[in-house]
Amino acid sequence: AAGNIVVQLERECPHISLMPFLSSDNSNIVHPIELAIFLNNLMFGCSTKFGLSKVLLQLLNFETRCFRERQASELKAGLNHEKGGLVGLKFKDAILEARWHEAILVGVTPGDSTKESKNLHEIFGLVPDPNHVIK
């Protein structure tokens, strides 16, 4: 199984999609992130959500727990704890349905739906739009 590569960008790069790096199953493994948008969202999120900065610091230091990314269709969750149990739920509802031992749902990434909106930073990321429907 191929891992993921996150490319941190200082500003938008319109040509990054012309350089696809594909895994053996032909899925994209490079995920560009415009760092300024990510950091702005992180700073404002921490300032408006009490305790979030402490939790993020614990997750980002990699001494104990850390972030993991999974396809929503591969996660076991929901009433019957089945694969894909979060697909179709709003983020705010998915938080209640996602019950794992020592894990918590903290955000969503665009996946293949990056063409849906020009304002991805308003929809995706850590603590995204609560009404965003998970695909």
Residues 6+ apart with CB under 8 A from 21: 5, 28, 29, 30
Chain segment 23-73, per-residue pLDDT in tens: 777 777 776 766 777 778 888 888 888 888 887 777 677 676 667 778 888
Global confidence as pTM:
0.50
Chain segment 2-17, per-residue pLDDT in tens: 566 666 666 777 777 7
Chain segment 114-129, per-residue pLDDT in tens: 444 445 545 567 778 8
